[in-house]
């Protein structure tokens, strides 16, 4: 019996009602009619996978990756790229409406949909590959279509790997570092050079990273003091350093903080003060009057104390960069009495996956 798909959920799964119960169906698109096989039955909803498609959505395509469906990396590769962008735009708009109560207009910056990732993490359990979704099983891969070619070339050379995890990272000049070689690469983006060690954080898509830098640069005002929270190897602090007399940055990861200090020197920057520790601890030490806050937290968003402190500092502008729209919207809901949205844009940092980067510039209400 065919099931009719009503909608897509935030993970790119088809949504249907069967006997009054919601079913989330992998590999199914809106308006399709599909045959399904149940994979999990729960009290309030079920999960299933579409095993054949009786009526196809015109945006469906055959995923070009042979591991798609088995590998847990990509999840919307069976959707054509234009529709992936539409899906992500609607996702961000709906989440912000639902969790922050705000209606927004949204543009999205597209990316190359393949060969964009500058870093991959592989797992080893006798075979080297990616983990299956929600599982510790490893599926062997020879190459990854969303990774840069230099990473795939390096992968061909690897023999007898015996650690549990292998991180491989490259730059736009195709230099490679990995858990086997250690060392560092230098990445040049928008006239800045970033030293990146194997364990440091860096945005995975250089083209989109450059677009993000431009957007921030175009949307922030000239200020006296700026504060960059969750600052990684110094990226967004350096953009702010062109507009602010002084920038304070806070980063907890040892390797990223060390790189931030090195990058300040490498770029002859004299007005960025890098601080090492947790944002929720170090933010208390800031006694300068802050006019601009840039924040780019991990997926979990900002903690309550940090948001409270920001609301006491009341900077004129806040730039909020986020790879998880639901925590962005949750935090925006706490800031919206004092701030309004000056500009907002989505950036497709992670094509072929349901993940999306969003950037919000907030201005204090007076
Ligand atoms: C999404 S990354 C952003 C990095 C940087 N803004 C960039 O664009 O490259 C988040 C960063 O926050 C750091 N981090 C996570 N939790 C933190 C905390 N509680 N305090 C300070 N830094 C934290 C991570 O190590 C990571 O470098």
Report the pLDDT value the prediction gives residue 43, as an integer from 0 to 100. 94
State residue 88 phi and psi, 5-degree precision: -70, -35
Q: Are residues 218 and 177 in the same domain?
A: no
Task: Give the DSSP letter of residue 285.
Answer: G
Domain CATH number, residue 294: 3.40.50.150
Helix intervals (H) in 27-101: 81-100
As annotated, the active-site residues are 323
Place of tokens 């989330």: 24
Distance 218 CA to ligand 1 centre (A): 23
Q: Are residues 221 and 97 in the same domain?
A: yes
Report the pLDDT value the prediction gives residue 223, as an integer from 0 to 100. 98
Structural domain harbouring 332: 83-112+205-364
Report the pLDDT value the prediction gives residue 366, as an integer from 0 to 100. 79
Report the pLDDT value the prediction gives residue 95, as an integer from 0 to 100. 98
Q: Are residues 41 and 184 in the same domain?
A: no
Q: Supply the residue whose CA is at minimum distance from atom 26 of ligand 1.
A: 232
Which residues lie below 8 Å from residue 101, measured CB to CB, with a gap of 6+? 333, 336
Q: Is the Cβ atom of 260 under 6 angstroms away from ligand 1?
A: no
The atom of ligand 1 lying closest to the CA of 209 is 8
Domain CATH number, residue 15: 2.40.50.140
Judged by DSSP in three states, 203 sits in: coil
Q: Is the Cβ atom of 66 under 6 angstroms away from ligand 1?
A: no
Q: Are residues 236 and 359 in the same domain?
A: yes
Q: Are residues 108 and 123 in the same domain?
A: no
Q: Is the Cβ atom of 201 under 6 angstroms away from ligand 1?
A: yes
Q: Are residues 182 and 231 in the same domain?
A: no
Identify the helix (H) or strand (E) that includes residue 227: strand 223-229
Count of domains observed in the chain: 3
Report the pLDDT value the prediction gives residue 159, as an integer from 0 to 100. 79
Q: Are residues 262 and 125 in the same domain?
A: no
Is 68:301 a contact under the CB 8 Å cutoff? Answer: no
Residue among 209, 210, 216, 251 whose CB has most ligand 1 atoms within 8 A, to mutate: 251
Q: Are residues 142 and 212 in the same domain?
A: no
Task: State the 10-residue block means of pLDDT for the chain, 366 residues long.
Answer: 93 96 96 96 96 97 95 95 98 98 98 98 92 89 97 91 92 95 95 97 98 98 98 98 98 98 98 98 97 98 98 98 98 98 98 98 95
Give the pairing of strands 21-26 and 45-55: parallel
Q: Are residues 273 and 308 in the same domain?
A: yes
Q: Are residues 99 and 27 in the same domain?
A: no
């Amino acid at each position: 019996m065919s099931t009719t798909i009503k909608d897509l959920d935030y993970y790119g799964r088809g949504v249907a009602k069967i006997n009054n119960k919601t079913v989330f169906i992998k590999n199914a698109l809106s308006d399709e009619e599909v045959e399904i096989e149940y994979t999990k039955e729960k009290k309030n909803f079920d999960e299933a996978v579409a095993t054949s498609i009786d009526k196809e959505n015109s945006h469906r395509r055959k995923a070009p990756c042979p591991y798609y469906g088995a590998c847990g990396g990509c999840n919307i590769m069976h959707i054509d790229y234009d529709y992936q962008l539409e899906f992500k735009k609607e996702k961000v708009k709906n989440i912000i409406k639902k969790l922050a109560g705000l209606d927004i207009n949204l543009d999205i910056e597209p990316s190359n949909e393949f060969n964009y990732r500058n870093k991959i993490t592989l797992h080893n359990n006798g075979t080297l590959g990616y983990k299956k979704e929600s599982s510790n099983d490893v599926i062997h891969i020879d190459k990854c279509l969303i990774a840069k070619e230099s990473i795939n070339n390096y992968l061909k050379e690897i023999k007898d790997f015996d650690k549990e995890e292998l991180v491989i990272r490259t730059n736009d000049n195709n230099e490679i570092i990995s858990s086997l070689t250690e060392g560092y690469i230098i990445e040049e983006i928008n006239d800045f050079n970033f030293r990146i060690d194997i364990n440091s954080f860096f945005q995975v898509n250089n083209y989109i990273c450059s677009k993000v830098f431009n957007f921030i640069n175009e949307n922030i005002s000239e200020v006296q003091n700026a504060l960059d929270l969750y600052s990684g190897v110094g990226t967004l602090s350096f953009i702010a350093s062109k507009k602010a007399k002084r920038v304070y940055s806070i980063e907890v990861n040892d390797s990223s903080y060390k790189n931030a200090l090195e990058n300040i020197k490498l770029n002859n920057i004299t007005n960025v003060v890098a601080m090492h520790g947790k944002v929720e601890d170090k933010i208390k030490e800031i006694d300068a009057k802050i006019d601009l806050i840039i924040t780019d937290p991990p997926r979990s968003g900002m903690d309550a104390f940090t948001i409270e402190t920001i609301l006491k500092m009341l900077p004129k502008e806040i730039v909020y960069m986020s790879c998880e729209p639901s925590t962005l919207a949750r935090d925006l809901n706490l800031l919206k009495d004092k701030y309004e949205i000056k500009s907002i844009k989505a950036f497709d940092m992670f094509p072929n996956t349901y993940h999306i980067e969003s950037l919000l510039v907030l201005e204090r209400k007076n």
